[in-house]
Structure 1
Amino acid sequence: MNVPALVVFVLFFALVTVLGFLAARWRKADNALHLDEWGLGGRSFGTWITWFLLGGDLYTAYTFIAVPAAVYGAGAAGFFAVPYTIIAYPLVFLFLPRLWSVARVHGYVTPADFVRGRYGSRALSAAVALTGILATMPYIALQLVGIQAVLDTLGIGGGTSGNWFMKDLPLFLAFAVLAAYTYSSGLRAPALIAFVKDALVYIVIIVAVIYIPMRLGGYGHIFDAAAAKFDAVNPATHKPVGSMVSGPDAQWAYATLALGSSLALFMYPHTVTGVLAAKSRNTVRRNMAILPAYSLMLGLLALLGFMAIAAGVGKGVKGYNAQLAVPQLFDNLFPSWFTGVAFAAIGIGALVPAAIMSIAAANLFTRNIYKDFLRPDATPEQETRIAKIASLLVKVGALVFVLGMDKQLAINLQLLGGLWILQTFVSIVGGLFTRWFHRWALLAGWAAGMVYGTWKAYGIASPATKHFGGNSAAIPGIGEIGYIGFTAFVLNLIVAVALTLVLRAVKAPEGADETSPADYGAEAGDRALEDAPVPAAAH
Structure 2
Amino acid sequence: MSNLDTTAALAFVAVLATASLLALTARSVWRSETVSTPAEWALAGRRFGTVTTWFLLGGTIYTAYTFAAVPALVSSAGALGFFALPYTIIVYPLAFWLLPRLWREARDMGAVTVADVVRIRYDSAGLALAVALTGILATMPYVALQVVGVRSVLAALGAYPEGITGDAILAAVFAVLAVATYRSGLRAPALISFVKGALLFVGVAVVTVLVLRRLDGPAAMFDRIEHRAAGDQAHVDFLALDPSLAMAYLTLAVGSALALLMYPHLLTAAFAAKSEGVLRVNAVALLAWTALLGAFAVLGLAAYAWGAGGGGEATVLEMVEQTTPSWFTGIFFGSLAVGALVPAAVMSVAAAMLFTRNVYAEYVNRRCTPEQQTGVARFVSLLVKVGALGFVILLAEQDAINLQLLGGVWMLQVFPAVALGLLTRWLQAPALFAGWAAGMLTGTYLVTRGGFAAVVEVAGVQVYAALAALVVNIAVAVLVNAAALRLAPTRGLLRHRRVR
**SS at 2:488 equivalent:** coil
- The residue number in structure 2 matching 1:323 is 313
- By how many angstroms is 1:298 displaced? 1.3
Deviations 1:443-475 (A, max 9, x none): 1111111112122323333xxxxxx3x322112
Return the alpha-carbon distance in structure 2 between the equivalents of residues 302 and 120 of structure 1: 45
Contact preservation (8 Å) 1:221, 1:310: no
Return the alpha-carbon distance in structure 1 between the equivalents of residues 27 and 336 of structure 2: 24
- The residue number in structure 2 matching 1:491 is 472
Contact preservation (8 Å) 2:115, 2:354: yes
**Which range moved further: 264-273 or 289-298?**
289-298
Q: 1:5 to 1:28 in 2, by over 3 A?
A: same
- The residue number in structure 1 matching 2:431 is 441
- The residue number in structure 2 matching 1:310 is 305
- By how many angstroms is 1:401 displaced? 4.7
Contact preservation (8 Å) 1:256, 1:483: yes
Deviations 1:349-382 (A, max 9, x none): 1111111111011111111111111111111110
Specify which of 444, 457, 462 is matched with residue 454 of structure 1: 444
Deviations 1:78-124 (A, max 9, x none): 10010011111111211211111111111100110010111111010
Q: 1:458 to 1:394 in 2, by over 3 A?
A: farther
- By how many angstroms is 1:494 displaced? 1.3
Q: 1:231 to 1:376 in 2, by over 3 A?
A: farther
Q: 1:333 to 1:408 in 2, by over 3 A?
A: farther
| Unmatched tracts of structure 2, length 5 or more | none
1:202 matched to 2:192? The reply is no
Q: 1:483 to 1:370 in 2, by over 3 A?
A: same
Return the alpha-carbon distance in structure 2 between the equivalents of residues 360 and 508 of structure 1: 38
Return the alpha-carbon distance in structure 1 between the equivalents of residues 114 and 296 of structure 2: 31
1:355 matched to 2:358? The reply is no
1:471 matched to 2:461? The reply is no
TM-score, normalised with respect to structure 2: 0.94
Return the alpha-carbon distance in structure 2 between the equivalents of residues 228 and 257 of structure 1: 30
How many residues are treated as equivalent by the alignment? 497
1:289 matched to 2:288? The reply is no
Contact preservation (8 Å) 1:47, 1:287: yes
Matched letter for residue 456 of structure 2: A
- By how many angstroms is 1:417 displaced? 2.3
**SS at 1:279 equivalent:** coil
**SS at 2:419 equivalent:** helix
- The residue number in structure 1 matching 2:181 is 182
Return the alpha-carbon distance in structure 1 between the equivalents of residues 448 and 169 of structure 2: 28
Q: 1:401 to 1:247 in 2, by over 3 A?
A: farther
1:73 matched to 2:63? The reply is no
1:504 matched to 2:485? The reply is yes
1:119 matched to 2:102? The reply is no
**SS at 2:463 equivalent:** strand
CA RMSD of aligned residues (A): 2.2
- The residue number in structure 2 matching 1:245 is 240
| Unmatched tracts of structure 1, length 5 or more | 315-319, 462-467, 517-531
**SS at 1:388 equivalent:** helix
Return the alpha-carbon distance in structure 1 between the equivalents of residues 391 and 247 of structure 2: 28
Q: 1:232 to 1:125 in 2, by over 3 A?
A: farther
**Which range moved further: 167-176 or 409-418?**
409-418
1:390 matched to 2:380? The reply is yes
Return the alpha-carbon distance in structure 2 between the equivalents of residues 229 and 135 of structure 1: 39
Matched letter for residue 443 of structure 2: G
- By how many angstroms is 1:242 displaced? 6.7
Contact preservation (8 Å) 2:303, 2:319: yes
Q: 1:511 to 1:384 in 2, by over 3 A?
A: farther
Contact preservation (8 Å) 1:66, 1:410: no
Matched letter for residue 301 of structure 1: F
- Aligned pairs for 1:209-220 (under 5 A) are 209-220=208-219
**Which range moved further: 38-47 or 60-69?**
60-69
- The residue number in structure 2 matching 1:6 is 9
Return the alpha-carbon distance in structure 2 between the equivalents of residues 412 and 511 of structure 1: 43
**SS at 2:261 equivalent:** helix
Contact preservation (8 Å) 2:9, 2:330: yes
More helix by share: 2
- By how many angstroms is 1:403 displaced? 4.5
- Aligned pairs for 1:53-72 (under 5 A) are 53-72=56-75
**Which range moved further: 245-254 or 413-422?**
413-422
Q: 1:36 to 1:256 in 2, by over 3 A?
A: same
- By how many angstroms is 1:408 displaced? 6.3
